[in-house]
Structure 1
Amino acid sequence: MQFAKSDFSEEEDDSNSNNPYADPNYPDLEFVDYSDPEYTADSGNYDDLYDNMDEDSTEAEIEAMREERRVKNDIFQFNTYYANTYQNGATFAGEWTVYKINWSPNNSDEVPTLSQFKHTFPVTTRLEADEQGRWVHIEDYHVNATTDNNSALDWDDYYKPYWPTTMIPFDFRGQQGNMVCGDAWTVCQALNAAQESVIEGPFVEYRAEVGLSYGSLMRYRLKLDYSAKTDQADQQQLLQLKYLTVCREVIVEREMHWPRRHPNYEIQDALFGAPGAEGGLYDPPPIADGTENNYILLDLPGHATTLIPVVLDPSLTSPKMSWVTSLDWTPGKMRYQVDRKVNSGKELLGLRSLELSEVQAADAEEYRPRDGGQDMRQ
């Protein structure tokens, strides 16, 4: 009887371990019995796997993953700026229109007036890499390129860089204020009282550029040059617009053509045609309450309209507040609007968002947003 019982038990064990789904062609495949209470690897119970991980190490690993994504985005922005905005190092021939902002010496609350220098400035622009692979901006003023004479403006006093001396991928972090978004881009630079490039205020100089490309043919960009009022306390330094520059540029291919004299009439019209975007800004951005008088709206030759802050007040701070610069341009069949939104307070250089709207020019009125001005969803 004992022998018979032992023989029966062995047969029962063999039967229980037999895989009813076994494929004779793959005899080495493991059979997993999920009904076995001892099996936990895929049952959703991971406590044993993470018993040795404390909260600090988990947060550190998560932050490391976030930083890896940020670095990848930095590199993408860095390369896109060269490939798209500067067409892989191409040269652009531009005519710069410079406006001087005239402030009342007795009342800074008055709306300033703008005076335009009579002639445009012929300038070529390109982007090159130095020996360390950093981007270097090169802008050359061609004094004798045209018969125009701007003796009223001291070029050496007027011209200043709007970007770091050399640009690396890290410069495209949000707090640095530089970004590329499709056919739009923005770069900037700010200096403290010691003339050092910094990302937190107070600032004594603040320069920002925002631009739009129309394919590889031409570009339309704005340069905003602010300087601080010296009679204010450091932390309350008002930054007043000193110069507004409108740069109209075409890519240099086989021959050098300045935009106004370009043989392609459509390019001439896109850059110097009727002033103003049709119907005003396509999508007026929201403006912080109480800052309406800090802005001016300008219609510019070349089917363009811009909204710019003429005064940046760092004493106005709010987590939800932003200063915005908008440029609406219709160079042909397409209409573009870019909104550059930056933080308030001492983080004025930091970019909150760079938003680009694109629409067929013929359909712009039909699809014009009518929400009273809202931020794009991020």
Structure 2
Amino acid sequence: MMLHPAVLLTISLAAAIVSPTLCGGVAAFAPGGSSSATTTTARPRGDGRHGVIVDHRRHDVVDNPRRLRPRTSTAAAAAGAGEVPDEDEDDPTRVVNPYADPNYPDLEFVNYDDPEYSADRSEYSDGSDDVIIDNVDATLAEIEAMREDRRKRNDEYQFETYHASVLRGGERSLGEWTVFQTDTFMGRGARLLRDPKAQGVPRLVRRDGILKVVSRGSKVIVDPEASWRVDGERIVHEERLATHDDFPALMMMIDDDDYDYDDDSDNDGSSRKSEDAAHVEGSRCWPDELSSLDFRGPGGNMCVGKAYTTCDATPLSSSSSTTTREHEERQRHEGPFREMRAELGVQENGMRFRVKLDYALLEEEEDDDDASVVPPPLHLRTLTVCRETLDGYWPRPSDNESSSSGGGAGGARDGGEGRSGGGVRRTDHQEEITRALFGPPGAPGGLYDPPPLGSEERAISNYMLLDFEGGATLLLPHRLDQHGEEEGEEDGGGRGEDASSPSSSQLGWVTSLDWTPGRIRYQVDRKVLGGTKLKGLRTLELSEVQGEDADRWRPKDGGSNMRQ
């Protein structure tokens, strides 16, 4: 098929205008058997205006027309073979595109590394930088609003799940508390009695007697007009020593006026009952009014599966002229702290096993002159182990003894859920409760999945591993540094550490509880941040495995964090 030369010329011009990569190239045409042809050269304008300059010339026809291709450095060498060179081919400033493909001459290749490259923004703006910046700011604001909405929904989910699953909508929990005190706060003389090989590890002294405690938590409405419902709700906890009304056995044996745990008193004459009540009141591990916002990471509260954790702290210094809400929230969640209390628990099969950790500053370290520069560490003061049942019965059968008339907390339950045996009311799975709460100490084989603690020196200097009755094992830090790298962690993050190891502020701290209440074995790891943000949660991790198959599937990675 033979085309008129004018048609071919039009096609060539269109290609040159559409594809800038052809600018400066030479296109030869051989229309029919004509002895001469028109050669069109398209090149960029030199006057700074848009468009191309087209030259029309006459020359001899090339015997063997070649494929169209972008102008390259080899074009000049081929000019002597019959091609007419571009008048700009010797220009040393001409940029050669190394990405041009001769097989696809119509494609435009853009060199984004070219300092003279600029994007044409006329398609989506009026060219004003202020408009573009406003559009970007508006987009970022919309993205942040979406993120905040997701955070609020997660806060609501955590708040509602904690109230419904952990607190069971306000139901009572009856339990026994065992209290351990460390010799750290018993004076220098008590600390000198430590094992010479473990001077940095505190000894735990078990207090006499068992505390019988009734626990519950309920919702209260503080702002019925709140735009986001849970913003107007709070969770209030209640923990108190049990009274005679909670013990059918005590109701039969003694009068309320004569009741006391022991006949002895401490040196100042206060009764043991008052001392125990003070411990229960002072061991709360949550704010007075727990809000949904407290379930964000900095607050240290979270629940996952059958496990949960709560936290509360007292700042080291509360003097400040700034009283904004944002500042108050930051001060409440960021240290350094004078005191910090954290709780970690697992509940399943009508039982709950939880531990309360109470940390405080030593007076001699708080009064140190360097305390204003480098915050002193927190030390474990007391550890409380709480063994509870959630079905309205006490964990031990003897505490559920009732009179023949069925009065009392254990015998007056409607529906007769317990069974009578020798005058003692027991739940249907009393043997399982006894084994899970008061069985042999320690988890089988030790902690199921030991978490990473850093160097061996750091683990020895700051952590302790304890076994408790009921097949439970607890790993916890007894000493918490509150300073970061910028405050002089020359030793790498703790006493006696290698300088090349990560610092305490980088590693953070972890508390692990391993307990098997039934068929499933649970391990929950409470991992918090380091430095002054040690109240804030990094993660709350829960492992579940069949108790019988735990050894078979025991991790062998030497301790590692969970990955998402």
**TM, length-normalised to structure 1:** 0.81
Quote the offset at 1:71 in angstroms. Answer: 0.5
Letter of the structure 2 residue corresponding to residue 285 of structure 1: P
Q: Which residue of 1 aligns with 2:391?
A: 252
Residue number among 220, 224, 231 corresponding to 2:353 in the alignment: 220
Distance in 2, Cα, partners of 1:375 & 1:111: 26
The answer to whether the 8 A contact 2:472-2:515 is kept is yes
Distance in 2, Cα, partners of 1:168 & 1:48: 48
Unmatched runs of 5 consecutive residues or more in structure 1: 1-45
Cα RMSD of the aligned pairs, angstroms, is 2.4
The answer to whether the 8 A contact 2:316-2:335 is kept is no
Seen in structure 2, the aligned counterparts of structure 1 residues 210 and 49 have a Cα distance that, compared at 3 Å, is farther
Quote the offset at 1:320 in angstroms. Answer: 3.3
Letter of the structure 1 residue corresponding to residue 209 of structure 2: H
Letter of the structure 1 residue corresponding to residue 332 of structure 2: V
Q: Which residue of 2 aligns with 1:274?
A: 440
Q: Which residue of 2 aligns with 1:373?
A: 559
Quote the offset at 1:193 in angstroms. Answer: 3.6
1:342-357 → structure 2 map (5 Å cutoff): 342-357=528-543
Distance in 2, Cα, partners of 1:259 & 1:128: 23
Instruction: Between the two structures, name the one with larger relative contact order (CA 8 Å, sep ≥ 6).
Output: 1
Q: Which residue of 2 aligns with 1:26?
A: none
Q: Which residue of 2 aligns with 1:69?
A: 150
Distance in 2, Cα, partners of 1:129 & 1:214: 23
Residue number among 252, 261, 269 corresponding to 1:149 in the alignment: 261
Q: Which residue of 1 aligns with 2:340?
A: 206
Secondary structure of 2:532's aligned partner: helix
The answer to whether the 8 A contact 1:288-1:322 is kept is no
Quote the offset at 1:110 in angstroms. Answer: 2.4
Q: Which residue of 2 aligns with 1:116?
A: 206
CA deviation map 1:331-357 (0-9, x unaligned): 111100000011111101000010000
1:48-63 → structure 2 map (5 Å cutoff): 54-63=135-144
Residue number among 219, 240, 243 corresponding to 1:129 in the alignment: 219
Quote the offset at 1:211 in angstroms. Answer: 0.3
Seen in structure 2, the aligned counterparts of structure 1 residues 376 and 297 have a Cα distance that, compared at 3 Å, is same
CA deviation map 1:160-219 (0-9, x unaligned): 22101011110100011000111110000000245798111111110000000114x010
Residue number among 178, 196, 210 corresponding to 2:301 in the alignment: 178
Quote the offset at 1:284 in angstroms. Answer: 0.3
Quote the offset at 1:61 in angstroms. Answer: 1.6
Aligned residues: 329
Quote the offset at 1:114 in angstroms. Answer: 0.6
Q: Which residue of 1 aligns with 2:162?
A: 81
Letter of the structure 1 residue corresponding to residue 215 of structure 2: T
Letter of the structure 1 residue corresponding to residue 236 of structure 2: V
CA deviation map 1:64-96 (0-9, x unaligned): 111111100000000000111111211110100
Q: Which residue of 1 aligns with 2:188?
A: 105
Distance in 1, Cα, partners of 2:341 & 2:561: 24
Percent identical across equivalent pairs?
Answer: 46
Secondary structure of 2:517's aligned partner: coil
The answer to whether the 8 A contact 2:211-2:276 is kept is no
Quote the offset at 1:260 in angstroms. Answer: 2.1
Secondary structure of 1:96's aligned partner: strand
Q: Which residue of 1 aligns with 2:70?
A: none
My pick for the range that moved more, 224-233 or 163-172, is 224-233
Residue number among 514, 518, 526 corresponding to 1:340 in the alignment: 526
The answer to whether the 8 A contact 2:167-2:218 is kept is no
Letter of the structure 1 residue corresponding to residue 554 of structure 2: R
* Structure number with larger C-alpha Rg: 2
Secondary structure of 1:204's aligned partner: strand
Quote the offset at 1:120 in angstroms. Answer: 1.3
Distance in 2, Cα, partners of 1:156 & 1:228: 23
**TM, length-normalised to structure 2:** 0.55
Distance in 1, Cα, partners of 2:125 & 2:154: 31
Seen in structure 2, the aligned counterparts of structure 1 residues 116 and 62 have a Cα distance that, compared at 3 Å, is same
The answer to whether the 8 A contact 1:210-1:223 is kept is yes
Q: Which residue of 2 aligns with 1:20?
A: none
Secondary structure of 1:280's aligned partner: coil
Unmatched runs of 5 consecutive residues or more in structure 2: 1-120, 193-198, 223-232, 251-259, 267-271, 319-327, 366-370, 401-425, 486-502
Distance in 1, Cα, partners of 2:530 & 2:153: 27
Structure 1 or 2: larger helix share? 2
Distance in 2, Cα, partners of 1:230 & 1:58: 52
